[in-house]
Amino acid sequence: MQKKQNSIRKKEDRVLPRQKRRYTISGYVTDCSSSETLIGANVISHNTHQGTASNSYGYYSITVPEGETDLNFSYLGYAAKNCKFRLHKDTLINVRLSSDNRLKEIIVTSKQDEAGILATGMDAIDIPVDQIKHTPALLGETDVMRTIQLLPGIQSGTAGTAGLYVRGGNADENLILLDGIPVYKVDHLFGFFSVFTPEAMKKVTFFKGSFPARFNGRLSSVIDVRTKDGDMNHYHGNLAIGLLTSRFNFEGPIVKGKTSFNLSARRSYSDLVARPFMSKDEKFGYYFYDFNFKLNHKFSDFDRLYLSYYQGRDCMNENDYDTNTYNKHTYYDRYGMNMAWGNSITSLRWNHVFNDRLFCNTTVALNNYKIHLMSYDNDEVGANAYENSTSHYNSNIKDLNVLTDFDYYPSTAHHVKFGAGYIYHVFCPEVTNVQCKDKGSGTLPIDTVYNSPNHDIYAHEVSAYAEDNWKINDRLQANWGFDLSAFHVQGKSYYSFQPRLSFRYQLTNSVALKAAYTKMTQYVHLLTSMPITMPTDLWVPVTKKVRPMQANQFSVGGYYTGLKNWEISAEAYYKSMNNVLEYKDGVSFLGFSSDWENLVEMGHGRAFGIEFMLQKKVGNNTGWLSYTLSKSDRKFSKGGINGGERFPYAYDRRHTINIAYNRKFSSRFDIDLTWMFYTGGTTSLALKKSAIIIPDCGRSYYSKNVGDGVTEVDYVPHRNNYRLPSSHTLCLGFNFHKKTKHGMRTWNISLYNAYDAMNPTLIYRKTSEWYGSLPSSGGKLVKYTLLPFIPSFTYIYSF
Amino acid sequence: MKKKIFTILSVLITILFVTSCENDMPITHNEKFERLVMNAFIDADSTNNVLYLNLTGADSALVVKDAHIEVRVNGELKEKEAASSRNKYPVKTQFHQGDVVRIDAYTNDNKYHVWVEETVPHSVGFVALDTAHVYKKFNSNSHAGGDSGIGNIWQYKISFKDNSGDVNYYRLYMERFIKKETIYKYVAEWPDVYKEDTVIYYRPDYGSDYMCYEDPIMMDGHTISADGDNDFGEYLPTLQATENIYGVFNNNRFKGKSCTLTVYDDLHSYPLYQHSVDTEEKTEETTICPIDEIFFVQSITESEYYYLKALNLYRSSDYQDNDDLSGPIKFPTNVHGGTGMVGFSSSASKYIRLQGKYN
């Protein structure tokens, strides 16, 4: 018997050890206090040295071998958490992390999928909301766009405005998403402030290069803004009162642990302050507001529903009243206007977890941007004689968005994303309606309506994408994917295949190299003719004549993390753009653009440059220093612009230096500093005299200098012919905090343009005092500086 | 803490006083080269066209008289001309609709060469020209309007048929001829009637000297009422509808079809009939002024259309108010190797005579 047992034991010794099975651990990473999901939280398996990150809804999934498992969860600004357990089946673990602002150092060993120096993709940056709040602000209005302007490769457009010109692209080439839905008009007050309030934001990710395949529709950048879901456990909020606006945020549970809400609002009030001082016969007002509301319901660990609503508006109005008495008659004249423009976005999102490896988000949204202007003039002479005219101007874009996105984790080496989307666009370009009524004035009575002939344009946009973040081996990672899109408008269809490729090679422990190629297609354009944004800037779709814009971008970069807490990067890029649009020379941009297709020309643009960045993210001293060397130009070969010759892009600024610095002295006092320097962009200046022919005066016109038949005129030799001087701006912010019984009180003092640099906002040639003519030889330029030194203060109370 | 705040504020105030507030900047540029400027409006129905040559300059545009031009039609050299006087170069070739015309200009020192190539557009089929005398309010701000207010003015309706094709460009052009005939009649002391005729025949107006602000085709769909009610522009310059001073329009609203334009003129300076009496001597004086008008619908090239649109803007009061924001006008050019505008047109016209006792 013992012989038999020994024999069996020997047989057992000769059997190979059972191969370890692999199981998936998944769940949500949330804030311990508010249950707010954490986007991009790092999940690392210490046993296998593999990792992943939570997706845009805080969901993660990681497949590891069975047995003893040690998972580490970390997120910037939160205490890391370890979970040690024995894994023997697919497991659901929802992790709650505690916020820890005192943390001096976080060792980030993340393999973040999407953004950051360690991500596979390049040119992608996570912008902490805290950083946005600590960027010194104009009139106390912290702004995500101003923070992004401090990054390398970004130009700010006209000084002081919040526009973004990324790597030689136009302002309309940025895909700006609010919880996944594109926002058309992202600014207030003619471009000086953006529509995003930091109090409502949870996370902002900025892509300027290798865009993930799920993003399409714009050429130059993607700004993915995610708003807070709402605290599921406690009520809290904050109130800020500044010189320009007041804003508040309030969030809390409706059903604890199940349903929460988040509400934030902002309104300017200069109109309310000034109104009592206006005469009763003349009233003028301007204000803007933003309103965000979000409802979040958790059915179970597998299903969540979000309902969001955003509305932002700029409103301007004027009302005047005159009376006159003449020849025993009294005349009454009431005239004025009301104007409003802005976005409304309503969206419903459903998160569903199919299994441990498959996550789905489906979004249905209505998006509406519109502008309405009404002006009136009512003249009355008694009850029987009147002249009334009312004019209406309307323009809007309505989108119905249906999108579905899947996150699939087939193995640790692959993270697959795929999905599809459909957008039904209705473009309602400028529609005017002028009604004139005239009675009793001695002429034939008139009751006439003039309408403009513009018709709605309907378009269908369909897209599908797939991408895989693939860990090829310990050193090499790749993110590869594609986007297929189709755009159908006016009986014409356009198709686009957009490959996306990026590679990351870990050369040493502290040095990584990246390379990327991206192709993007854009089907809508913003027609603009002023250096500042105007509410009448018009979004128009591609048509039978105007083809989609396309861009191909190549980039390479090197990254070094060998210095403790420091990140150093250098990136070079080349971007080629086709079918970019510009107005032709001499087009009447003072006026409506019902004929816009014939007013623009398609051409080619290119941009290339190199960007350096030195950044520190942790500790009492944080910030970055960046330098960009870049060049960008355009060429329109048909000849309608600049005679077909290449010319520099308006925001072709050769050198740009940005410094952002935050110093935390104590829990009660900290300062923020930003300094921007850039060499001048370009503008078109009349530097010569030329002769033009005026119809119908040739036979009688004679000029001693210019000769017969023609008249002298200022001449712009070529577009963007003049290089502006350099600009530089220092902004400072001082924050004084004090804990109160129920919360925290903060006084913020901001100094915009602290040393009052007179940077040129607008420039034109100085004319002589008489006759408005240009002085002979040389002369001077006159510059307007719109934003000199501007101090402000803001009171913030958080509870 | 207080010491820190004081230090910070002291440094900031010091910085503030050290900065400069210069508003003027010298112009620094390296633009030294000049360009040859070629300008002409070539009427295909005329053999007396004129082309003008100038040179751009830092202080003033210059006359170019030492040059010659070559005119080719459908690839064949038709004429070669030198300056007839100062900067004028005659173009005597008869052009026809559809001709591909190329004009080259060379300075005699061979330093500058410019050229333009265009196709002579086809004229339209003029259908009708009607007039009516209406009592109406008219806009004194119009470039063609006389005094403001209300009165009897002439309404013209011009009907024509669009050419086939995609986009066509037109200009409404008018010439007015007045034959002024004065009859003096003396009664009472002289039993004979003394009649003296004074006839003057002249062309006081030509071009686009009419009011078209209420016509949706000529105003590109965005009319201005007689009160000048286009209030959008008062609040947003980008919504200002520019008055169509040169009467240019395209066929966006009537492609391949007939259209009718409605324009007005008050003709207050040209009374058709006047009669005055000297009561003491019962002298009568009668002036009869029939007015002959010819309306031309000119088919123009695309480049001339946009050039005249730019001229509309350049001559409008709106542009002067807004050139700080919008920048200087960059006139379109179709001249290669230089700058300028050479437009080609062919016309269809209708004649009408206004006479009677309308005042």
- Which helix (H) or strand (E) segment holds residue A580: the answer is strand A566-583
State whether A692 and B311 contact (CB < 8 Å). yes
| B253/A453 touch (CB, cutoff 8 Å), yes or no | yes
Residue A271, SS3? helix
Burial A246-263 (b: 16+ CB within 10 A, else e): bbbbbbbbeeeeebbbbb
Please determine, for residue A480, whether its predicted confidence score (pLDDT) is greater than 50. yes
Long-range contacts of B9-12 (CB under 8 A, 24+ apart): B12/A732, B12/A751, B12/A754
Could you give the CA distance from residue A648 to residue A651 in angstroms, rounded to a whole number? 8
Spatial neighbors of A169 by CB under 8 A, at least 6 apart, are: A219, A220, A221, A551, A575, A577, A605, A607
CB contact under 8 A, B56 and A690: yes
Mutate to test the interface with B, among A376, A537, A637, A690 (most CBs of B within 10 A): A690
Alpha carbons B269 and B109: distance in angstroms, whole number: 51
pLDDT tens readout for residues A386-440: 677 777 888 889 999 999 999 998 887 889 999 999 999 999 877 777 777 766 6
> According to the model, what pLDDT value does residue A553 have?
96
Q: What is the pLDDT of residue A426?
A: 94
State mean pLDDT over A110-125: 65
Q: Do residues A488 and B257 touch, judged by C-beta distance below 8 A?
A: no
Of A210-224, A284-298, A776-790, the range with the lowest mean pLDDT is A776-790
For A153, residues 6+ apart whose C-beta sits below 8 A from its C-beta are: A123, A166, A167, A208, A571, A573, A609, A611, A628, A630
Cα–Cα distance, A734 to A620 (Å, whole number): 15
Instruction: Provide the whole-model pTM.
Output: 0.83
Q: Which segment of A86-100, A323-337, A509-523, A778-792 scores lowest on mean pLDDT?
A: A323-337
Confidence of residue A699 (pLDDT cuts 50, 70, 90): very low
Task: State residue B254's pLDDT score.
Answer: 84
* Shortest distance, CA A686 to any CA of chain B (angstroms): 7
Nearest to A592 among B62, B241, B330 (CB): B241
CA angle, A29 as apex, A39 and A146 as ends, to 5°?
A: 20
Domains of chain A: 21-101 (2.60.40.1120), 124-227 (2.170.130.10), 236-684+719-798 (2.40.170.20)
Residues in chain B closer than 8 A to A686 (CB atoms): 328
Residue B265's beta-bridge partner residues? B154
Query: Residues 6 or more apart from A176 whose CB is under 8 A from it?
Result: A182, A183, A186, A223, A225
How many CB atoms are located within 10 Å of the residue A779 CB? 15
Digit-coded pLDDT (tens) for A320-357: 887 777 666 677 778 888 889 999 999 999 999 998 88
Among residues B285, B159, B162, B270, the alpha carbon closest in space to that of B215 is found at B159
Asked if the Cβ–Cβ distance from A529 to B326 is below 8 Å, we say yes
Most confident of A54-68, A157-171, A374-388, B307-321: A54-68
Residue in chain A closest to B323 (alpha carbons) equals A764
Test the B interface: residue of A715, A716, A719, A765 with most B CBs within 10 Å:
A715
What pLDDT shows up at residue B139? 67
Torsion of CA B247, B249, B253, B254, to 10 degrees: 90
What is the longest distance spanned by two Cα atoms in chain A? 136
Residue B126, H or E segment: strand B125-138
pLDDT: is B45 or A596 the higher one?
B45
- Contacts of A436 by beta carbon, 8 Å cutoff, 6+ apart: A387, A388, A389, A446, A447, A448, A449, A450, B225, B227, B229
Strand partners, A264: A249, A292
Q: Give the A:B interface size as CB pairs under 8 Å.
A: 304
A263 has pLDDT over 60: yes
CB contact under 8 A, A450 and B20: no
**Range among A185-194, A608-617, A685-694, B221-230 with highest mean pLDDT value:** A608-617
- Long-range (24+ apart) CB contacts under 8 A made by A469-473 are A469/A113, A469/A120, A469/A414, A469/A415, A469/A416, A469/A417, A470/A413, A470/A414, A471/A50, A471/A111, A471/A412, A471/A413, A471/A414, A472/A413
Residues in chain B, pLDDT under 50 = 1-22, 144-147, 321-322, 359
CB A99 within 8 A of CB A78: yes
Whether A131 has a pLDDT exceeding 80, the answer reads yes
B contacts of A586 (beta carbons < 8 Å): 306-307, 309-310, 313, 329-332
pLDDT at A568: 93
ipTM of the complex as predicted:
0.84
Nearest of A136, A132, A77 to residue A731 by alpha carbon: A136
Both tokens assigned to B283: 């002298």
Neighbours of A235 (CB within 10 A): 12
Q: Which tokens is A779 given? A: 């002369």
Residues ≥6 apart with Cβ < 8 Å to A187:
A145, A161, A162, A163, A193, A194, A195, A533
Residue B42 pairs in a beta bridge with B344
What pLDDT score does B268 carry? 62
Contact between residue A367 and residue A181 where contact means Cβ atoms under 8 Å apart: yes
CA distance B263 to B244: 11
Query: Are the Cβ atoms of A594 and B221 closer than 8 angstroms?
Result: yes
Query: Are B229 and A713 in contact (CB < 8 Å)?
Result: no
For residue B54, list chain A residues with Cβ-Cβ distance below 8 A. Answer: 690-691, 706-707, 710
Alpha carbons A402 and A488: distance in angstroms, whole number: 16
Question: For A640, left (φ over 0), alpha (ψ -120 to 50), or beta?
Answer: alpha
Average pLDDT for residues A47-68, to the nearest whole number?
87
pLDDT, mean of residues A670-685? 90
- Between CA B35 and CA B58 the distance in angstroms is 11
Which residue has 């004035």 as its token pair?
A: A441
Given this model, what pLDDT does residue A347 score?
96
Contacts of B252 in chain A (CB under 8 A): 594-595
Instruction: Measure Cα distances from B14 to A230, A757, B10, B19, B130 in Å.
Output: 46, 14, 6, 9, 77
Residues from chain B that touch A450, judged by Cβ atoms under 8 A, are: 214, 216, 223, 225
Per-residue exposure over A172-205, b if at least 16 CB sit within 10 Å of its own CB, e if not: bbbbbbbbbbbbbbbbbbebbbbbbbbbbbbbbb
Note whether A542 and A593 are within 8 A (CB): no
Helix (H) or strand (E) holding A132: helix A129-133
Mean pLDDT computed over A232-250: 90
Of the candidates A456, A431, A457, A453, which has an alpha carbon nearest to the alpha carbon of residue B254? A453
Distance in angstroms (rounded) separating the CA atoms of residues A598 and B192: 69
B53, B103 Cβ separation under 8 angstroms: no
